[in-house]
Chains A and B, each alone.
Chain A
Amino acid sequence: MTAAATTPPPRWVRFTPLQRLGRFATYLVTVAAVVWSLKTIEIIPEFLYDAPEQTLDLFRRMWPFDWSYYPKAIHAALIETFHIATLGTLLSLVVAVPFAVLGARNVTRVPALNWLANFVFVASRSVNSLIWALLFVAIFGPGALAGTLAIACRSIGFVGKLLSEALEEARPGPVEALTALGAPGPHVLLKGYWPQIEPGFWSVTLLRWDINIRESSVLGLVGAGGIGVALDAALSNLYWDQAGLILAIILVVVLVVEVLTSTLRRRII
């Protein structure tokens, strides 16, 4: 990538020596890391020999699907997954919006509060939703409540960070006009900032909802409710025909939701 044009006397170089060194070091470290991982990762060759056989066996066990399982357990679990994802997203909005306002440096001019909000966002994002689910299952017991709280906690950082960035990018014109007229703080927020970030707000919400539908499908593996519970039961009983049906349903739901949210988001922006 170090394209150095060798035209006239004052030789133009695209990167400084330090940048080139950094890039070279990155490539070197990447290659070294891959080689190291390949050499030391533990792979059991005996398992690999019959992989094609096992894969075929997997599909043979899955098909035909056990359709009778759908009304028995899957339908209710699917609805619960939907509730978990949606409620979790809404709940995260309730918490994320105030923190987004605190985190935006042009709205809240107190560095300590900006720092606090950013800390909350980083804490929320750096813990996987499955780990959040483990924590809430330990606290509130297994069930959809733990799942909802896990989804909410994981989403706060995502939504809050994007919202506070949107606030920081808002044009100062309308805000200054309102301030000059003597509008109180809440009015400035509602009429100066909100109309500017509203499309972004809904777009971020829909994006996170889409992600949450996907994430809430696995929360059941640790007991936090939703379709994952049905999947876990099917897997531990080795009922692959039920597991296959659940996977197919998750696939369809996720694809439908993705098409829906991407269409909506394109209309909003």
Chain B
Amino acid sequence: MSASARVRHADPFPPHWGGRALKLLVVVYALYAASTLDVTWSRFVSGLGNGAVFIARMFPPQTAPDKLQLLYEGTLESLQIAILATFFGVLLSLPLGFLAARNLMPRPVVWVARAFIALCRSLHPVIVAILFVKAVGFGALAGALALVVASLGFISKLFGEAIEEIDMKPVEAARAAGGSFLGVTIMAVLPQVAARFIGFASYQFDSNLRNSTMVGIVGGGGIGAPLFTAYQRFDYDFVLTILITVIALVLATEALTGRLRRLFQ
């Protein structure tokens, strides 16, 4: 990396051989992996034909009253799942986030809490929904519980990290003044993280809303079930109607939560 002493102006962009070797390795891997995908020209061409048929069958979007009723009920249920999952997820993440903060808790507690958080985060919400469908039966409850687990995984992690970044001086002051654990938490810790917590919660609501439209694929309630059924029946025009609704809902919610975050900074 270092140029010899004679040269006054070292090469400002010295070659990084290790990095280059790594990039070459990635390219070789990509070629190998692509070869296992079984992509042939004929498959691509027939795919284009399928795609054209697929898109042609999507238009015009289905707007029959009975289908719209189905769409309305499913979307409403997705919304309910997202709201409840975010609410309970946030509620439970508060204590869990505290337990995962290294500056407030003893080490063993932190490790147990972090292991639990990692567990919640590691499975995709749709897979968690499969387990809850078995446990509590088909329907919105299974989907909501799955998303509570996902919310726990994300918010507690971020919340724990936010608590670790706080200024410890108010905490020490509150302790020196004889504050109880609860008093220290409420007066010295929470005010420092409350604004960020609201931000995390609103992000999680966006994410939960996206996923609440998907848990229906495995029986977790919401718009996912009508979507998947319509897809399997080749009712692609209804698929398009649902997709448009879902995307509009997600974008509208994102705009709304974005404004909220600005309001709460």
Contacts and interface: CB of A to CB of B under 8 A. Distances in A.
A130 B127 CA distance: 12
B13 A140 contact: no
B37 A218 contact: no
Contacts of A140: 43-44, 47, 50
Interface in A31-52: 33-34, 36-38, 40-44, 46-48, 51
Interface in A41-90: 41-44, 46-48, 51, 54-55, 58, 80, 83, 86-87, 90
B87 interface: yes
A138 B251 contact: no
Contacts, number: 154
Contact of B118 (A54, A143, A195, A255): A255
B123 A247 contact: yes
Contact of A145 (B37, B80, B127): B37
Interface string A148-177: 100000000000000000000000000000
B125 to A, nearest CB: 9
Given A44-B139, A214-B122, A255-B122, A34 B84 contact: yes
Given A47-B139, A217-B127, A87 B30 contact: yes
6 contacts: A41-B81, A41-B84, A83-B36, A87-B34, A90-B30, A141-B43
Contacts of B26: 90
A58 B124 CA distance: 19
Contacts of A42: 77, 139-140, 221
B140 A41 contact: yes
Nearest to A55: B135
Given A47-B139, A90-B30, A250 B263 contact: no
A230 to B, nearest CB: 12
A122 to B, nearest CB: 7
Nearest to B137: A47
Given A87-B34, A128-B210, A251-B122, A231 B127 contact: yes
A139 interface: yes
A222 B228 CA distance: 9
Nearest to A215: B124
A187 to B, nearest CB: 11
Interface stretch (B64-72, B98-106, B164-172, B211-219): B211-219
A37 B135 contact: no
Interface in B216-265: 217-218, 221, 227-228, 231, 236, 239, 243, 246-247, 250-251, 260, 263-264
A244 B148 CA distance: 21
Nearest to B194: A1
B141 interface: yes
Contacts of A255: 118, 122
A200 to B, nearest CB: 15
B250 A34 contact: no
B134 A54 contact: yes
Contacts of B110: none
Nearest to A51: B136
B100 to A, nearest CB: 15
Contacts of B84: 34, 37-38, 41
A80 B35 CA distance: 12
Nearest to A52: B135
Interface in A1-44: 1, 19, 22-23, 26, 30, 33-34, 36-38, 40-44
Contacts of B38: 143-145
Nearest to A122: B251
A48 B33 contact: no
Contact of B13 (A22, A195, A217, A221): A195
A191 interface: yes
A128 B227 CA distance: 13
B214 A58 contact: no
A254 interface: yes
